[in-house]
Structure 1
Amino acid sequence: MVALDLEAIVSGAADAEVAVANSVTEARRALGSAAFDAAFLDIDVLDGKTFEVARLLAERGTPFAFVSGARQEDVPPPLREVPFLPKPYDPQDIERTFLARLAGRG
């Protein structure tokens, strides 16, 4: 449900093609077949935590942010500088973060 909500917010903020992955496995597959301008990651997904995906995005220079009900303190130290939007989130915060990340300011 959160993924659909995020998809609607991002699509409303920009003319964007949105890919949704419900697991680390799906996210890895998506990253292998496409380039992304920006990403939002929930920390806890069906098959674990998305820190591996976050590291891949960082290595590629893809801007991203965490949107999660997890505790920010659970994020590994190398990823703690990444924007973190706690659930429940304000849709305007998602839109602002997305647009800032695309602009390279976030």
Structure 2
Amino acid sequence: MLIVEDDPFITLALEETLTDFGLIVAGSARSVPQAIRLAQTVAFDLALLDVNIGQDRIDPVADIIAARGIPFVFTTGCGRAGLPEGYLQQAIVEKPFYVEEILRTLREELANGESN
């Protein structure tokens, strides 16, 4: 699992929670350059991507992950209208989110990725 989130408290909570539910966090990034580096080099099966990372957008990271054929889910407080142009139909979890909602959406996206 790759997590890209600029809020350190949310990142820590996600890492702990997802680990508690049996997921292995292969990496987490708090900036787009760091996320690009991880997306290109780390082995992971699923990603959770915040749409806005500080002043930057997640678009180049989503492009890399999509090109690798790895399923991912966006998190955002801006709703579907805030998604990157090429990913308007991508799975999304709106902030503030609940653990159950994240887990369900991640499971669904992983299942969809395996069926494609």
TM-score under structure 2 length normalisation: 0.80
Structure with the bigger RCO (C-alpha within 8 Å, sep 6+) is 1
Unaligned stretches of 5+ in structure 1? none
Match of 1:96 in 2: 104
- Superposition deviation, residue 25 in structure 1: 0.4
**Distance across 2 between alignment mates of 1:104 and 1:28:** 24
**Distance across 2 between alignment mates of 1:10 and 1:79:** 24
TM-score under structure 1 length normalisation: 0.86
Q: Which has the higher strand share?
A: 2
What is the number of equivalent residue pairs in this alignment?
A: 106
- Does 2:73 align with 1:65? yes
- Does 2:20 align with 1:36? no
Q: Is the contact between residue 27 and residue 53 of structure 1 (CA under 8 Å) also seen in structure 2?
A: yes
Unaligned stretches of 5+ in structure 2? 1-8
Residue by residue, what CA displacement relative to the aligned partner does 1:12-32 show, whole Å, maximum 9, x if unpaired?
222413411001101011123
- Identity value in percent: 29
